[in-house]
Amino acid sequence: MYHLHLHRWLEVFPREQMMIVNGDQLIDEPLSQLTRIETFLGIQHRITSHNFFYNATKGFFCLRNESNDKCLRESKGRKHPHVDPAVISKLRHFFADHNQKFYELIGEDLGWPED
């Protein structure tokens, strides 16, 4: 129910000072999202495609710099446990209105499933 927290933060901070990062896109397209973050922060663009490599074992992108390659720890990037589809449907239905309110506050639909 992110909208409840964001609504309170907007009472103190202007929306222009906040950046909402789509975590799904950060996983799938880390470079584009980090470039957006660099732009938002007004800092020099230093992150390039050379700073990432795909780890097929983990199913995620990992980081690379001049001295080493770094992936998430073993405890990260695990497969999600099986959840009964009926439970997932109930959760999505419950959160649908809350997600819509959040989308309205941020001016972006993050495309979270509602069914």
- As annotated, the binding site for 3'-phosphoadenylyl sulfate includes 76-80
User: Residue 54's closest CA among 32, 76, 30, 74?
Assistant: 30
Residue ranges in 11-84 assigned as alpha helix (H):
23-28, 30-41
Q: What is the DSSP letter of 72?
A: -
Residue positions in the annotated binding site? Answer: 76-80
Beta-carbon count within 10 A of 45 CB: 9
Token code pair at residue 20: 């909402």
- CA 5 – CA 18 distance, rounded (Å): 13
